[in-house]
């Protein structure tokens, strides 16, 4: 069947496109580089013509409060309206585990708006909430630097490999619309500060990692529930140590 991936040229979208093509589907990787603009609606109608499923893995180009809200609100409205017009049978959106617990951040308030638009839409839907990706741990560290130190909470985080995210989405593509949120996560939970220390040990980064229970995560105070899934998540198979070893061999 025809499947449109919004954000199909990005980290997750490109991996998902490979999996779905290998399964025999017709895949359209929609992004500004292929003439599809979510904010203006340009190219959406043409891309969605005949599509059975749409997977939205697009992300805001800015994490600042107002630009992120503008992106997810405007893009969400445009996409869902175009899907309804095209009689799309299943809208799958990639979101973040803990979105409703991280609303002190404007970015997560924007993600909440995206989820609310999906729930209110006439298009059958599934929201897949993922934990943070291994590929983003370095960025988390870089965003936590104060005075040359990387100051991080020791709250638990249960991150996962981008490959496992794409594989989980490919499974959802083969399922009926759940009309609910499905959580996906990595196979193990680790303290955030310990996770970054493991990354630094593997990459030779000499910056000191300081445990600070009051350190914020992009403006949010963390506890052990903030970045971890609830009961019954779908778990990836790749452990952080194995992912680091794979990167070292690459």
Give the β-pairing of 2-6 and 53-56: parallel
**Phi, psi at residue 132, to the nearest 5°?**
-65, 150
Prediction pTM value: 0.96
What would the pLDDT profile of 188-243 be if each residue is shown by its tens digit? Answer: 999 999 999 999 999 999 999 999 999 999 889 999 999 999 999 999 999 999 99
The 3-state DSSP class for residue 238 equals coil
Q: What percent of the chain has pLDDT over 90?
A: 97
**Residue 21 near residue 13, CB atoms below 8 Å:** no
Q: How does DSSP assign 46-102, residue by residue? A: HHHTT-SEEEE----S--SHHHHHHHHHHHHHHHHHHHHHHT-SEEEEEEETTGGG-
Structure tokens at 229: 């899934």
């Amino acid at each position: 069947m025809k499947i449109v991936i919004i954000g199909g040229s990005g980290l997750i979208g490109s991996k998902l496109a490979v999996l779905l093509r290998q399964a025999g589907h017709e895949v359209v990787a929609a992004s500004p580089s292929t003439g599809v603009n979510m904010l203006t609606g340009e190219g959406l109608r043409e891309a969605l013509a005949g599509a059975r499923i749409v997977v939205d893995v697009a992300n805001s180009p800015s994490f600042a409060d107002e630009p992120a809200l503008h992106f997810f609100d405007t893009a969400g409205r445009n996409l869902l309206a175009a899907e309804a017009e095209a009689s799309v049978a299943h809208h799958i959106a990639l979101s973040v585990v803990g979105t409703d617990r991280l609303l002190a951040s404007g970015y997560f308030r924007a993600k909440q708006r995206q989820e609310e638009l999906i729930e209110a839409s006439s298009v059958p839907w599934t929201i897949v909430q993922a934990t943070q990706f291994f590929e983003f741990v370095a960025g988390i560290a870089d965003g936590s630097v104060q005075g040359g130190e990387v100051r991080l909470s020791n709250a638990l985080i249960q991150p996962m490999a981008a490959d496992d995210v794409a594989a989980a989405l490919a499974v959802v593509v083969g399922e009926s619309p759940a009309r609910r949120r499905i959580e996906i996560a990595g196979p193990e939970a680790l303290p955030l500060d310990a996770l970054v220390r493991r990354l630094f040990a593997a990459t030779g980064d000499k910056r000191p990692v300081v445990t600070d229970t009051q350190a914020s995560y992009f403006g949010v105070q963390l506890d052990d529930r903030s970045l971890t899934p609830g009961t019954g998540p779908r778990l990836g198979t790749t452990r952080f140590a194995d992912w680091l070893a794979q990167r070292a061999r690459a």
